[in-house]
Structure 1
Amino acid sequence: MPPARSPRPRPPPKARRKREAMNQQHLDTLRTALTTSQNQLTAELESLQQLSVVTSAEGRELVDEVDRAFAAESMAENNSRAEQIQLLLDNTARALELMSTEGYGQCQDCSEGIPIERLQALPRATRCVPCATRLAA
Structure 2
Amino acid sequence: MTCSTKLLLMAITVLTLWLQISQAYCVYNRLDGADSYFYVKEREVNPRASFKKQINNGERECCPWNNGECNLTGKQEGIVDFHITIGMYGASLEGADTFFAFCSAGGGLVITGNNLYNITATCNHADGKVNTRPIFAIEK
Structure with greater proportional strand content: 2
Structure with greater proportional helix content: 1
**Over alpha carbons, which structure has the higher Rg?**
1
- Give the structure-1-normalised TM-score: 0.29
